[in-house]
A and B are shown apart, each in its own frame.
Chain A
């Protein structure tokens, strides 16, 4: 059974849409991740396998091949864990095989007990995802706030693999939280230091005023 799940990689601040293709076939039992993974991606294998096992799902001893396409771009980091796990679960029919996930990307690292951990760079990933026509992103709950800053995306925050599975299978509903810019950016509006503490130096203060008045 083959399944294709989407995730996103960052090169600098440019996003690259990554198709995570999972194939389970008969043959000598093995796990291979191909498509230029670096060491941290290769280690995903153990995290994903253990996380699924600890959900109480017994994976069959088969030949598992996970391909990260495009295969010529080096993949770094643990952001693909969640997508790989979902791919494996779909390929082994734990998640509805007919589910259309073409416009959804998965971002997140897994811990051994199946929790979804936060990752770095979620904001640029979401901004870039929009350019690829992605409609829905599934992100770790810890990164929910930064992801919600991006308008035009349905952002779903998940805290565990089980929750993600139940959501995809339609067992539970997760609604998108409304983004409140005031709450996030309003925090820093109070400063302890004030210009009135600077005595004299009129010319300097004037120059600073001009500097901030002209810069975006």
Chain B
């Protein structure tokens, strides 16, 4: 969904149920129908109405009120359900000339490698990937070292995270470890996972 805040708030909030349960129920006079809807939500938005908030070169012209209004269209609970947040800045002119960028083929290899690890690990549990882990399985498979636990605790207290983001961070850290081919979750994996919660702080 491009330009996420331009959607009606009511339509955005409806996404919350399907995102969690992966089913969508439609109730009509005659009957209530349930459809499966296992999907990945990818959304983008500008940092502010003019689009330059936080830009290194250009100045943002929006008032604080405008920025607040713009961002408040995405509710906390909805944001909480989005696993990875990233801020995308403008690229430098030099990198436009890069020719050594990775091809999809190489990325696909790494992704398939990580997914095969997950498939193998969860074959007895009837699930295929980290995103499907339940709380119980998270406790079993996303065990943190004491040092990582410390990092997470500090971050958690500082940013007042929800329990939902906590388990999301663990699952993302597990995936990063899988991409690395690492059996245990290391500090660096947790730190990278925390980087993808940038909107929690705002």
Interface string of A68-87 (1 = CB under 8 A from B): 00000010000000000000
> Which of the segments B48-56, B63-71, B172-180 contacts the partner chain?
B172-180
Q: Pick the contact of B175 from A12, A203, A214 — CB < 8 Å?
A: A214
* B110 and A199 within 8 A (CB): no
Residues in chain A near residue B127, CB distance under 8 A: 216
Q: Which of A174-206 contact B (CB under 8 A)?
A: 191, 194-201, 203-205
Q: Which of A128-184 contact B (CB under 8 A)?
A: none
Give complex CA distance A141, B178 in Å. 45
* B35 and A13 within 8 A (CB): yes
Residues in chain B near residue A194, CB distance under 8 A: 103-104
Residues in chain B near residue A214, CB distance under 8 A: 83, 114, 118, 129-131, 171-172, 174-175, 178
* B104 and A216 within 8 A (CB): no
A28 contacts partner chain B, Cβ-Cβ < 8 Å: no
Interface string of B138-175 (1 = CB under 8 A from A): 00000000000000000000000000000000011011
* B88 and A213 within 8 A (CB): no
Give complex CA distance A203, B176 in Å. 13
* B115 and A213 within 8 A (CB): yes
Give the number of residues in B that approach A within 8 Å (Cβ atoms): 44
Residues in chain A near residue B26, CB distance under 8 A: 12
Give complex CA distance A133, B124 in Å. 27
Give, as a whole number of angstroms, the nearest-CB distance from B200 to chain A: 15
* A74 and B30 within 8 A (CB): yes
Residues in chain B near residue A212, CB distance under 8 A: 40, 111
Given known A-B contacts A11-B31, A12-B35, A215-B131, A210 and B176 have beta carbons under 8 A apart: yes
Given known A-B contacts A201-B88, A205-B107, A210-B175, A215 and B40 have beta carbons under 8 A apart: yes
Give complex CA distance A191, B171 in Å. 30
* B88 and A216 within 8 A (CB): no
Give the number of residues in A that approach B within 8 Å (Cβ atoms): 26
Residues in chain B near residue A209, CB distance under 8 A: 107, 110-111, 179
Residues in chain A near residue B132, CB distance under 8 A: 216
Beta-carbon nearest neighbor of A193 in chain B: B104
Q: Pick the contact of B101 from A199, A203, A204, A211 — CB < 8 Å?
A: A199
Interface string of B4-42 (1 = CB under 8 A from A): 000000000000000000000010001101111010101
Interface string of B72-115 (1 = CB under 8 A from A): 00000000000110101001100111100111100100110011
Beta-carbon nearest neighbor of B110 in chain A: A209
Residues in chain B near residue A203, CB distance under 8 A: 86, 88
A99 contacts partner chain B, Cβ-Cβ < 8 Å: no
A207 contacts partner chain B, Cβ-Cβ < 8 Å: yes
Given known A-B contacts A12-B33, A215-B129, A195 and B102 have beta carbons under 8 A apart: yes
**Using a CB–CB distance below 8 Å, which chain B residues touch chain A?**
26, 30-31, 33-36, 38, 40, 42, 83-84, 86, 88, 91-92, 95-98, 101-104, 107, 110-111, 114-115, 118, 127-132, 171-172, 174-176, 178-179, 196
